[in-house]
Amino acid sequence: MAITNVIVTRIPSGDIDEGDSISLRVQWTGDASDHEVRMTWGDGQHEVNAVPGAGPAYDETYVHTYVSDGSFDIRADIYAGVSSNNGGLLIDVNNKPPTITSASGTLNNNTGGSIYQLPSQTLATMTHIQ
Q: Tell me the pLDDT tens digit for each residue of 47-100.
A: 999 988 777 889 999 999 999 999 999 999 998 877 788 999 999 999 988 777
Judged against a pLDDT cut of 70, whether residue 103 lies above it is answered with no
pLDDT at 25: 94
What CATH superfamily is the domain 4-94? Immunoglobulins (2.60.40.10)
pLDDT at 16: 92
pLDDT at 130: 47
Residue type at 126?
M
Burial status of residue 80 (CB atoms within 10 A of its CB: 0-12, 13-18, 19 or more): buried
Percent of the chain as helix, strand, coil, to the nearest 5? 0, 65, 35
pLDDT at 56: 84
CA distance 19 to 2: 37
- The residue ranking higher by pLDDT, 90 or 112, is 90
Element (H, E) at 27: strand 21-29
Judged against a pLDDT cut of 80, whether residue 27 lies above it is answered with yes
Q: Residue 128's CB: how many other CB atoms inside 10 A?
A: 9
pLDDT at 112: 58
Mean of pLDDT over the chain = 81
Q: Give the domain ranges of the chain.
A: 4-94, 98-130
Residue type at 124?
A
- The residue ranking higher by pLDDT, 105 or 77, is 77
